[in-house]
Structures are given as structure tokens and as C-alpha cells.
Amino acid sequence: MNSKLSYLWPPILIAALFLGAWQLLVVVQDLKPFLLPAPSLIASEFSNGATLMWGAAFYTGTTAFLGLLFGTIAGLFMALLAQRFITVNKLVTPLAAGLATVPIIALTPILNNMFNITSRTPRVLVTAIIVLFPIFVNVMRGLIQVNPLQVELMRSLNAAPRTTLRILRIPNAIPFFFTGLKIAAPLAVIAALVAEYFGGPQEGLGSRIASAAANTAYGRAWAYVLAAIITGLIFYLAIIAIERLVTPRSAQLHVKA
Amino acid sequence: MTTTFDTGSALAISNVSKVFNKGNENEVIALSDVNLNVHTGEFISLIGPSGCGKSTLLRVIGDLTGFDSGSVQVSGKSPEDARKERLYGIAFQQAALFDWRTVSKNIELPLELAGWDKSQREVRSAELLEMVQLSEFGNHRPWELSGGMQQRVAIARSLAVDPPLLLMDEPFGALDEMTRERMQNELLRIRLDTGKTIVFVTHSIPEAVYLSDRVVVMSPRPGRITAEINVDLGERTETTRESDHFFHCVTSVREALRLHDTSGTSTSSFRGEV
Ligand SMILES: Nc1ncnc2c1ncn2[C@@H]1O[C@H](COP(=O)(O)OP(=O)(O)OP(=O)(O)O)[C@@H](O)[C@H]1O
Ligand SMILES: [Mg+2]
């Protein structure tokens, strides 16, 4: 157990040093909280408002989760459709680059007008659209980047395209899918949070950060940021846990090698 | 090896030509006027410098690529019909096993696609695992096996539906010399047990001579057959590789290769010189 956890010590030590230096800087330089609040202030705001933090994180986390779910389903569906038409891997990279430049978050005010602004719907929608792209691009890559010898083998066995999809392409795409999910999950939390800046219900982390900052409660604003970081981390770790569950460890290592 | 061929034709290739990128500046004549006949049960090797069209010829036979002119008959059928009837098994230089399947499930893949039911598949894969001497490894994952073991799995997979013809594209190319010689003996044993017709691509002259009844020498630009050398070594034993007759055959093949080697450098592409 000791050796298993030993890899945890270096990051913990670095984090402790970093926080110590930060605290020291704020105290020695007598920095005002609007410039940079001390870690101790953020920590006390965080523990004082724990139930509020938890509620806000839960609200935004729910938006992020729903967006992640719908975005993933849509991305998978699109990738399965598209692989029938795009069979050349070279096309996927420019496609990915092109899609990455679309400023989707800018759609939020428009979606707010299209849907009921007092509901969660426009935020979930924006999150889903943002999630869709990394899932689509990565899964697409996994469906197309198959060993050409295995494709020939399937042909030699007289396999229909849909059989090749089921037996070769989809299993091949699973590690790529998780790569996409690991990008998409923290992105979903950021999207759900930023979408709250454009009006609507005020229960989420984004709304709380904005209103705390507007009220010059910088320690509290930073405490909500901390809650947002933790929420993103939970999403990321959940994906890693599912990945471990679905693919055996050795398989993951092997596929990446 | 006492090889008595039945008179059946496993493979009849006449005047086959194949051009890649026709009409554009990258045009390559991969096969030019190729003629080749193979009897049922015969073992032939295709040998020649890199780029002479060995893999292309194999892929034409397997209907993995088309050809521009001439005719190809596999057991009297068109390559497409032969493929659809699963009349051949194929193995490549890389084992190309599916990482997400166990060794047994990899071997069962062709059976699955041919619609065998589960219990039949399991019986057959156990049989094949025994044939390639990997019985204890059925439940392992491919990456847990050595290169030679993986290649044996790939060969077992190519034999799964018991096709009369085996196409092998440098299946031992990535193996070390010791493993390679062992695999050659195993292949000969399998051939003796099953009586398959085998078309085997290799870069190694001794390997071609040791395995084959006939060595077909090819040469590039344009890819064509330039010589056919009959190897009558009889039954292969431990001393076959050291016999004078073996050296004689190796020399014949080497000379046939040199005859059409105009570049003067391409002999360096041959591995496994004696
Ligand atoms: N898909 C393709 N598109 C264009 N040219 C091709 C293609 N496949 C093969 N060629 C060309 O056809 C020629 C014969 O290739 P082939 O792979 O059959 O050679 P080979 O004898 O198997 O060589 P090696 O020993 O290196 O495997 C080469 O010049 C190659 O560049
Ligand atoms: Mg080749």
C-alpha cells in the first residue's frame, strides 16, 4: 500500500509549497484581495459556504452531466454515420481543426432566446454541442484508423461493411472514445459554467462567481472557482474509472504503445 | 516429402497485368503478363526484390485488389467467387490479431463470419490451437504472446475454415532466425497433415528452397515472373539444410535472381543468405 501511494507524495509536496509561497506572497506584499486573495481566505470562504458551494456545484454539475450525455450520444451517432462517407484519415484532421475554431459558447445568447431562458435547456444544449466535437472527431478517428491488414483480412473472409464495423471498427474505436471523453468531460463543466454568465437561473457556479465578483467578495469568488475545479476533476476521474472498468489495464497500455 | 499431386488446378493465372495509378506520373506496372499454374497440394514460393509485385500478385489471387487484363482462376472459379466461398486463408507479415479478443476468439473469427455455432467453433479452435502447439494459450490476449506465437495464431486463423488454399505474405519475415526455422518445420508439418495448396511470399532464398516444391522468381519494373525453379529435395530432415543438393538449389535461385538484377544494389535487400 505504501509503495502504491508513494507516487502521490511529489504532487502533494509541490502543491503544499505552491500554496505556502502564495500565502507568503500575499501576507508579505500585503496584496489586496481583488488582486489576489490569500489561500487561507479562500479556504475559510469555502468551508463557511460549504452548503452553498455544494448546491451550486450540483446545479452546474447536473447541467454538465446532461450536456455530456446528450453530446456524447450525438457525437457517437454522427461518427458512425460519417465513417461511411469519409474513409480517408487525412480528412479527419482538418475537419477537427475546423470544428475546433467554431466559438460555440457565443451561441448561448441566441439559444437563450430560442428556448426558455428560465430553464436549464439552453445551457445543456450549448454544453452538448461543445462535447459533441471531441467525441465525434476522436471516435471517427478510431473507426477509420484501423490496421489495413485487418481490413484486408475481413474482406478475405467476405465480411459485409456492417460486419466489419461491428467486429473491427467499433472495438478499435473504444480507446479513442475514451480519449475523446477525457477531453470532453472537463470541457462540459467549463461550458456549463460559462453558459451561466449569459443570464438565466442564478443557482450555478458561474452565476455565483459572477455575482461574488460584482459584490467585491473576491475570496468567495475564488472559493467558487475552487469548487468548479473540484467538479471538473470529479468528472475527469469518473471517466478514468469507467475506462478502467471497461478495458483491462494491460489493454489500455498496449493500445497506446 | 513424398508429394503426389492430384491433377486438379488450384490456381491458373494467365497473362495477368496490373497497373497502379494508370496514366498519371506515378504509374507503376506492378504485374506484367504474369503466367502461373499451381497444382492442388503444391507449395510454391514467390521470391524477388522489393517492389517486384509479390504482394500484389497474392492480393490479386485473393481478390483483395483487381487486375487490368488477363485471367485468374482459383479452383476453377473467379477470385471474387473464391473469396466469397472462403476458398482461401491468408496470413501476413504482421500477425494482425485483434487485441480485444482472446487467442481462441481470434482463431474463431473466420468461423464466426462463416456462421458456425458457438460449440462447433470452440471444438475447432481447440483443435487448431493444438495443431500450432498453443493449447495452453487459448485464453491469453495476443499481446501476451511472443512474435512467433502470434504468427502461429495467425496461421491457425488462416486454417480455421479449412480452406484448400493458403496465401502467405512473408509470414516469418519479422521473426529471428531460430524461431523462423522452427516455424518453417511447423508449416511443413501442417502442410503434410492438411494437404493444402500454399502460395508463400518470401525474401529469403533458403526459406523458399526449404519450403517449396517450386520457387517462382520475380523481377521488378515491370513486375514479372522471370524464372521457375523446381526443388526436388524430397522429405525435409534436420540435415536437409546442410546437404549439397540444398546448396545447389539455393545457388540456382540466387543466379536466377542475379540474372535480372540490373541495378547492382538490390541484392542487398535479400535477407537470410547462406
Ligand atoms: N496501393 C498501391 N498504390 C500504388 N502503387 C502500389 C500499391 N501497392 C503496390 N504498389 C506498387 O506496386 C509495386 C509492387 O508492389 P508490391 O507490394 O506487390 O511489391 P512486393 O514485391 O510485395 O515488395 P516487398 O517485397 O517490398 O513487399 C511497387 O512498385 C509498389 O510501389
Ligand atoms: Mg510485399
* Separation of CA B113 and ligand 2 centre (Å): 27
> Which one has a higher pLDDT value, B270 or A97?
A97
HEC string for B7-62: CCEEEEEEEEEEEECCCCCCCEEEEEEEEEEEECCCEEEEECCCCCCHHHHHHHHC
Mutation test residue for ligand 1: of B18, B27, B28, B32, the one with most atoms within 8 Å of CB: B28
What is the model's pLDDT at position A249? 57
Query: Alpha helices of chain B — where are they, by DSSP H?
Result: 54-61, 79-84, 103-113, 118-131, 147-159, 177-194, 205-211, 244-259
What is the model's pLDDT at position B272? 41
Asked if residue B112 lies in contact with residue B147, where contact means CB atoms within 8 angstroms, the answer is: no
CB-nearest partner of B64 from A150, A156, A251: A156
**Closest-lying ligand 1 atom to the alpha carbon of residue B65:** 1
Residue B69 forms beta bridges with which residues? B17
What is the model's pLDDT at position B137? 95
What is the model's pLDDT at position B176? 84
Any ligand 1 atom below 6 A from CB of B56:
yes
What is the grid cell recorded at B200? Answer: 508463400
* Span B46-84, pLDDT tens digits: 999 999 999 999 999 999 999 999 999 999 999 999 999
Q: What class has domain A41-256?
A: mainly alpha
Any ligand 1 atom below 6 A from CB of B116:
no
The torsion angles phi and psi of B18, rounded to 5 degrees, stand at: -145, 125
Among all chains, which residue has been given the C-alpha cell 486454417?
B159
The torsion angles phi and psi of B15, rounded to 5 degrees, stand at: 50, 40
* Span B120-176, pLDDT tens digits: 999 999 999 988 889 999 999 999 999 889 999 999 999 999 999 999 999 998 888
* Span B15-40, pLDDT tens digits: 999 999 888 888 899 999 999 999 99
Q: Which amino acid is at A217?
A: A
What is the grid cell recorded at B241? Answer: 539444410
Q: Is the pLDDT of residue B263 over 80?
A: no
What is the model's pLDDT at position A168? 96
CB-based contact B113 A156, cutoff 8 Å: no
* Separation of CA B168 and ligand 2 centre (Å): 10
What is the model's pLDDT at position B262? 59
Average per-residue pLDDT in chain B?
89
> Tens of pLDDT along chain A (257 residues)?
455 667 778 878 888 899 899 888 888 888 887 778 888 888 888 888 888 889 999 999 999 999 999 999 999 998 998 888 776 666 666 776 776 677 777 788 888 888 877 788 889 999 999 999 899 989 999 999 999 999 999 999 999 999 999 999 999 999 999 999 999 999 999 999 998 988 888 888 888 888 888 888 888 888 999 999 999 999 999 999 999 888 765 555 444 43
- Strand, helix or coil at B86? coil
**Domain residue spans in chain A?**
41-256
Q: Is B96 left (phi over 0), alpha (psi -120 to 50) or beta?
A: left
